Each structure stands twice: as C-alpha cells, then as structure tokens.
C-alpha cells in the first residue's frame, strides 16, 4: 500500500472507530452487522486492511453517517467564498462529539437562548 493509501485507510478506520464508540457499540457488535469478524473490523479501524466498498452501505446505516462523512469528505456546502465562520467551525466540532455530549451542548444552547428571549 502506498503512503497516501495508508494515510487514507488509517483516517477512515479512525472515523469508523470514533463513530462506533460514539454509538457505544463494541467492535464485536459492529462487526456482526455486516458479518465480518471482530478481528477484521479491528484491522479496518487500525488502517491495516483496506475496507471493502461493499461494507460502506451497512456501516453508514449502522453508524448514522453519510458515505461522505465516513470517507472524510466535507458535507457542508458553503456558498460564499473565504474561510468559514467561527460559528460554523463550532457546529462542525460539535457534530464530531459523541451523541451524549452533543445533547449536553444543545441543552446549554437552549438554556442560553431561552434566557435571551425573556
């Protein structure tokens, strides 16, 4: 595998592992969905094996991600040119948090917004 491919598959594996943990799934549980061995999934997550494209639909469904998100492609469509706003950067950072932390941040924002409406 060339260095560029190695880097891609390591990053892909890291995104899979991160999403799996955010959904509080074990490797065994996630591996059972598409019918691969837990050890094979561990190799995908570590970037030591190339993930077959045929697994993408099942992984995206199970992890609640789009194929673009799983592959590390930007999913925001910024129509204006230039750097993205700080708020957009924060939203993107929040979207990478585990679901429980996303809920916490959302509740904090709801509280602040409710106070400003008074």
So what's the pLDDT on residue 79?
47
So what's the pLDDT on residue 74?
67
Task: Give the C-alpha separation, 22 to 16, whole Å.
Answer: 10
Task: Give the C-alpha separation, 21 to 31, whole Å.
Answer: 13
Task: Give the C-alpha separation, 84 to 88, whole Å.
Answer: 6
**Cα Dmax for the chain:** 59
Q: Identify the structural domains of the chain with CATH numbers, from first to last.
A: 3-70 (1.10.260.40), 86-117 (no CATH)
Task: Give the C-alpha separation, 67 to 97, whole Å.
Answer: 18
- Other CB atoms within 10 A of residue 65 CB: 19
So what's the pLDDT on residue 96?
80
So what's the pLDDT on residue 75?
57
Q: What is the pLDDT along the chain (118 residues), one digit of tens a residue?
A: 788 888 999 999 999 998 889 888 999 999 998 889 999 999 999 999 999 999 999 999 999 888 888 888 865 554 455 566 777 778 877 878 888 888 898 899 889 888 888 7
Task: Give the C-alpha separation, 64 to 67, whole Å.
Answer: 10
So what's the pLDDT on residue 117?
80
Residue 16: closest CA among 2, 34, 91, 92: 34
pTM for this structure?
A: 0.62
């Amino acid at each position: 595998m060339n260095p560029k491919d190695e880097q891609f598959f390591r990053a892909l594996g890291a995104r899979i592992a991160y999403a799996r943990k955010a959904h509080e799934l074990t490797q065994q549980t996630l591996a059972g969905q598409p019918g691969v061995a837990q050890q094979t999934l561990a190799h995908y997550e570590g970037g030591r094996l190339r993930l077959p494209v045929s697994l993408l639909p099942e992984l995206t469904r199970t992890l609640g991600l789009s194929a673009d998100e799983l592959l590390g492609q930007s999913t925001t469509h910024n129509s204006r040119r230039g750097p993205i706003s700080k708020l957009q950067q924060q939203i993107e950072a929040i979207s990478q948090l585990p679901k429980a932390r996303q809920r916490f941040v959302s509740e904090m924002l709801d509280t602040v917004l409710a106070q400003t409406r008074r």
